[in-house]
Amino acid sequence: MAIKRAQRSNEEFCAWILGKSAQVQKKPCLAATKLFVPVQENLDDSCMDTGCGIELLNLCGADGLKLIGSVHSHPTWDAFFSSKDMHMQYSIQQLLPDAVGLVMDQHHEFKTFRLTQKGMREIAKCPLSGFHPHDDADTLYEPVRVIEFKSGQ
Ligand SMILES: [Zn+2]
Ligand SMILES: [Zn+2]
Ligand having the closest approach to the CA of 74 = 1
| Superfamily name with CATH number, domain 2-143 | Cytidine Deaminase, domain 2 (3.40.140.10)
Confirm if 105 and 130 have CB atoms less than 8 A apart.
no
| Exposure b/e, 27-62, CB count within 10 A at least 16 = b | eebbbbbbebbbebebeeebbebeebeeebeebbee
- When pLDDT is averaged across residues 49-55 and rounded to a whole number, the result is 57
Q: Residue 35: pLDDT band by 50, 70, 90 thresholds? A: confident
Cα within 13 Å of Cα(65), Cβ side: 20
Between these two residues, 107 and 151, which has the higher pLDDT value? 107
Q: Is the pLDDT of residue 10 over 60?
A: yes
Q: Is the pLDDT of residue 153 over 50?
A: no
Give distance in angstroms: CA of 69 to centre of ligand 2: 20
Q: Is the pLDDT of residue 56 over 90?
A: no
Give distance in angstroms: CA of 28 to centre of ligand 1: 28
Ligand having the closest approach to the CA of 75 = 1
Q: Residue 133: pLDDT band by 50, 70, 90 thresholds? A: very high
Nearest residue to 112 (alpha-carbon basis) of 85, 75, 84: 85
Ligand having the closest approach to the CA of 72 = 1
Secondary structure class of 68 (helix, strand, coil): strand
Amino acid type, 85: D
Give distance in angstroms: CA of 93 to centre of ligand 2: 15
- When pLDDT is averaged across residues 85-106 and rounded to a whole number, the result is 90
Q: Which residues contact 30 (CB under 8 A, 6 or more apart)?
A: 19, 20, 21, 22, 68, 98, 100, 147
First to last CA, the chain: 15
Query: How far is the CA of 147 from the CAs of 28, 68, 107, 110, in angstroms?
Result: 10, 10, 20, 12
- Give me the residue spans of the domains in the chain: 2-143
Cα within 13 Å of Cα(95), Cβ side: 8
Between these two residues, 27 and 7, which has the higher pLDDT value? 27
Confirm if 73 and 45 have CB atoms less than 8 A apart.
no
Q: Is the pLDDT of residue 53 over 60?
A: no
- When pLDDT is averaged across residues 15-40 and rounded to a whole number, the result is 76
